[in-house]
């Protein structure tokens, strides 16, 4: 369908920047609204095509990490509650790539679980080896996650704040 969603967003941002912003003159408040709007539109232009595939890839990565940690924790202590919780997350039905809201909800579940694991490992819930392993796996995952999502937020949000 033409113009595409991204094309429309980019043209709207351009119109605001080139036709509206010069017209607001000394009105700082109006100029700020326009700048905020164009910044958010620049973000949306990236987010719309990238959000679902990034979430899908990240969910799969997080699921793999959590499943691996579940196995390791289970091996260490078969009754480990964290391991059981992680296994149930890993068993969840896959979500199709077109369903960004559902992918987002799943992402929040995974991130909550990851946070809990981080806190447990730092608070020495397990042996030194297990704690270090948990932290190592999660830190590597978080680096991959930041790399994956980078284009959605950079450089859109690196300019003037408003």
Partner 1 sequence: MNQQELSAYLSGKFDEPVAVTGLKQTFPGMSRETWLVETLRGKAGAQHGENLVVRVDPPGGSIVPVPLFFEWQVYERLNRTEIPVAQAYWYDGAPALSQGRPLFVRAMVEGVTYPPGLQADTAEAAERRKHVVLEYVEKIAIIHRLDWKSYGFGEIMPAPSSPEDAMRSELMRWWQIWDEIRTEPFPVITEALYWFLEHLPKRAAAVTLCKGQTGIGEEIWQDDKIVAFSDWELAHIGDPIQDLALSQGMLNMWDRQKILAHYESCAGFSLPLENIAYYSVWEVFNSMLTLNAGLRAFLSGRNRRLARATLGLGKVKVYEHLLGSILDMDVEEAAAFCIKRRPNPYHDKKVSGG
- Binding status of residue 118 toward partner 1 by CB under 8 A: yes
Buried b (16+ CB within 10 A) or exposed e, 128-140: eebbebbeebbee
Does 73 sit near partner 1 (CB under 8 A)? no
**8 A C-beta contact, residue 73 and residue 86:** yes
The CA-atom distances, in angstroms, between 126 and each of 31, 39, 102, 133 are 54, 45, 33, 10
Going from the C-alpha of 93 to that of each of 60, 85, 102, 146, 161, the distances in angstroms are 11, 15, 11, 25, 40
Q: Shortest distance, CB of residue 1 to partner 1, whole angstroms? A: 27
Q: Is 162 in the site for partner 1 (CB under 8 A)?
A: yes
Residue 98 binds partner 1, judged by CB under 8 A: no
Query: Using CA atoms, how far apart are residues 152 and 62, in angstroms rounded to an integer?
Result: 19
Does the protein bind partner 1 through residue 7 (CB under 8 A)? no
Whether residue 27 contacts residue 74, with contact meaning beta carbons closer than 8 Å, is answered with: no
Residue 87: CB minimum distance to partner 1, A: 19
Nearer to partner 1, 83 or 156 (CB): 156
CA distance 13 to 99: 26
How many residues of this chain interact with partner 1, rule: CB under 8 A? Answer: 31
Residue 146 lies near partner 1 (rule: CB under 8 A): yes
The nearest distance, CB 78 to partner 1, in angstroms, is 26
Residues 26-55 that bind partner 1 (CB under 8 A): 28-29, 32-33, 36-37, 39-40, 43
Contact between 111 and partner 1 by CB under 8 A: the answer reads: yes
Angle (deg, nearest 10), helices 28-76 and 5-15: 140
Q: What is the binding site for partner 1 (CB under 8 A)?
A: 28-29, 32-33, 36-37, 39-40, 43, 108, 111-112, 114-115, 118-119, 122, 138-139, 142-143, 146, 150, 153-154, 156-158, 160-162
């Amino acid at each position: 369908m033409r113009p595409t969603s991204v094309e429309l967003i980019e043209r709207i941002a351009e119109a605001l920047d080139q036709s509206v912003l010069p017209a607001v003159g000394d009105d700082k408040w109006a100029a700020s609204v326009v700048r905020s709007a164009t910044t958010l539109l620049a973000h949306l232009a990236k987010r719309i095509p990238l959000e679902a595939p990034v979430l899908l890839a990240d969910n799969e990565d997080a699921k793999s990490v959590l499943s691996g940690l579940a196995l390791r924790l289970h091996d260490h202590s078969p009754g480990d509650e964290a391991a059981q919780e992680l296994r149930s997350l890993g068993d969840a039905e896959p979500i199709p790539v077109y369903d960004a809201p559902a992918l987002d909800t799943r992402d929040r579940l995974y991130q909550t679980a990851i946070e809990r694991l981080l806190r447990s490992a730092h608070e020495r819930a397990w042996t030194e080896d297990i704690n270090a392993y948990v932290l190592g796996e999660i830190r590597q995952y978080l680096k991959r996650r930041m790399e994956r999502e980078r284009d959605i937020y950079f450089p859109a949000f690196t300019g003037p704040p408003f």
